[in-house]
Amino acid sequence: DAGVIQSPRHEVTEMGQEVTLRCKPISGHNSLFWYRQTMMRGLELLIYFNNNVPIDDSGMPEDRFSAKMPNASFSTLKIQPSEPRDSAVYFCASSLRQNNQPQHFGDGTRLSIL
Amino acid sequence: GQQLNQSPQSMFIQEGEDVSMNCTSSSIFNTWLWYKQDPGEGPVLLIALYKAGELTSNGRLTAQFGITRKDSFLNISASIPSDVGIYFCAGRGNTGNQFYFGTGTSLTVIP
């Protein structure tokens, strides 16, 4: 079975550029989560969706970050304009929405902003 | 957000030794998860716990849901080199479906 698929796996870009990260959740999962991982702060939840609807975006750092989920099989996380401090590994995870179902993670996008 | 304290932060052990790590929270959880993350990959679910006092095994791994519902433990028996990685706990309370993650335990196994 296909797991959570993220693209690209690596992204290197100059500050000020727009960055778009993509995620395909596991088929049938109706909750999707975006995380950021850094050495200093560990895993931080940025935003999560239930049935394509954003539920909690309190973890989104600032207005430069936005996330969408136009359908059940696709989500994007966009940073515009990007800054060096946005450099991190960004993970997408999905789960069934039913009680306490565990999240399954993709392999992440390693983002470097120069 | 919710704070999960995970300890130890890192461990260096000899191959064959047993490993114990734990996670504590400031509030009650009704689900505990344990993940392992290898370099360059996403966390992979090892064990899920849903009931206070529950003890669940997955091969050489055993995890327990603490009676107080504020802690959980992970044990690895007879460690091998492929156990190397970072182990994360995650917990969830009664509301929403957001899990809170610990800061991770980095495990190094010396052959």
One-letter amino acid for residue B77 of the chain: S
Cβ contact, residue pair A107, B42, below 8 Å: yes
The full 3-state SS of chain A, as one line of letters, equals CCCCEEECCEEEECCCCCEEEEEECCCCCCEEEEEEEECCCEEEEEEEEECCEEEECCCCCCCCEEEEEEECCEEEEEECCCCHHHCEEEEEEEECCCCCCCCEECCCEEEEEC
pLDDT tens digit string along A99-113? 678 899 999 999 999
pLDDT computed for residue A95 by the predictor: 92
Residues with Cβ within 8 Å of B93's Cβ and at least 6 positions away in sequence, in order, are B2, B27, B28, B29, B30
Of A92, A62, A93, whose CA–CA distance to A77 is shortest? A92
Q: Which of B97, B101, B103 to mutate to test the interface with A (most CBs of A within 10 A)?
A: B97
On whether any CB of chain A is under 8 Å from the CB of B40, the answer is yes
**What was the pLDDT predicted at A12?**
97
What is the residue-averaged pLDDT of chain B?
92
Interchain contact A45–B (C-beta under 8 A): yes
CB contacts of A105 in chain B (<8 Å) are: 35, 42-44
The pLDDT of residue B78 is above 90: yes
Half-sphere exposure of A56 (CA within 13 A, CB side): 17
Q: Which of residues 62-101 of B touch A (CB under 8 A)?
A: 88, 90, 92, 96-101
**Residue A56 scores a pLDDT above 90:** no
Give pLDDT tens digits for A6-48.
999 999 999 999 999 999 999 999 999 999 999 888 888 999 9
Nearest to B33 by CA among B78, B96, B99: B99
Q: Is residue B1 very low, low, confident or very high in pLDDT (cuts 50, 70, 90)?
A: low
Chain A residues with beta carbon closer than 8 angstroms to that of B100: 45
DSSP string, B68-93: TSSEEEEEE-S--GGG-EEEEEEEE-
Which of B42, B94, B50 is CA-nearest to residue A101?
Answer: B50
Task: Decide if B41 and A56 are in contact by the 8 Å CB cutoff.
Answer: no
Average pLDDT of B61-77?
96
Positive or negative torsion for Cα A54, A56, A62, A65? negative
Average pLDDT for A46-72: 92
Chain A residue numbers touching B96 (CB-CB < 8 A): 55-56
